[in-house]
């Protein structure tokens, strides 16, 4: 499963730099679609079924092997947990930013 995440990070890095990525395997039916599905799950924070449907709309003949399907269904929980963690981190960051703004608006004068 960590390969899904590593691959998603690499694809995202290239795309963010304005690049394009071709994901391929021997037949284009199992391995490549599995990694594209994982990438879409990460990118859009969607579940396996929705990502599968998006890929299948573009390439109707996809059919990841059962082992990939199981891993991708498990991976959707990893994606969801990571997303929830990011939301928590963003909330903490906003709270710290607000605290910093409050502290920066306070004028301290030492009259000793």
| Cα separation of the two ends of the chain | 62
Distance CA 25, CA 38 (A): 15
- Select which of 3, 14, 15, 25 is catalytic: 25
Contacts of 65 (CB under 8 A, 6+ apart): 30
Q: Would you call 61 a catalytic residue per the annotation?
A: no
Distance CA 98, CA 28 (A): 49
Alpha helices for 2-110 (secondary structure H): 2-16, 31-44, 48-58, 66-104
* Active-site amino acid positions: 25
């Amino acid at each position: 499963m960590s390969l899904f995440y590593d691959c998603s990070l690499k694809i995202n890095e290239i795309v963010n730099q304005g690049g394009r990525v071709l994901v391929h395997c021997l037949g284009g039916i199992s391995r490549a679609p599995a990694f594209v599905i994982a990438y879409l799950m990460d990118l859009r924070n969607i579940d396996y079924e929705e990502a599968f449907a998006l890929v299948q709309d573009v390439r109707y003949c996809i059919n990841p092997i059962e082992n990939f399907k199981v891993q991708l269904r498990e991976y959707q929980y990893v994606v969801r947990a990571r997303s929830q963690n990011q939301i928590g981190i963003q909330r903490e960051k906003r709270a710290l930013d607000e605290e910093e703004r409050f502290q920066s608006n306070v004028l301290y004068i030492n009259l000793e």
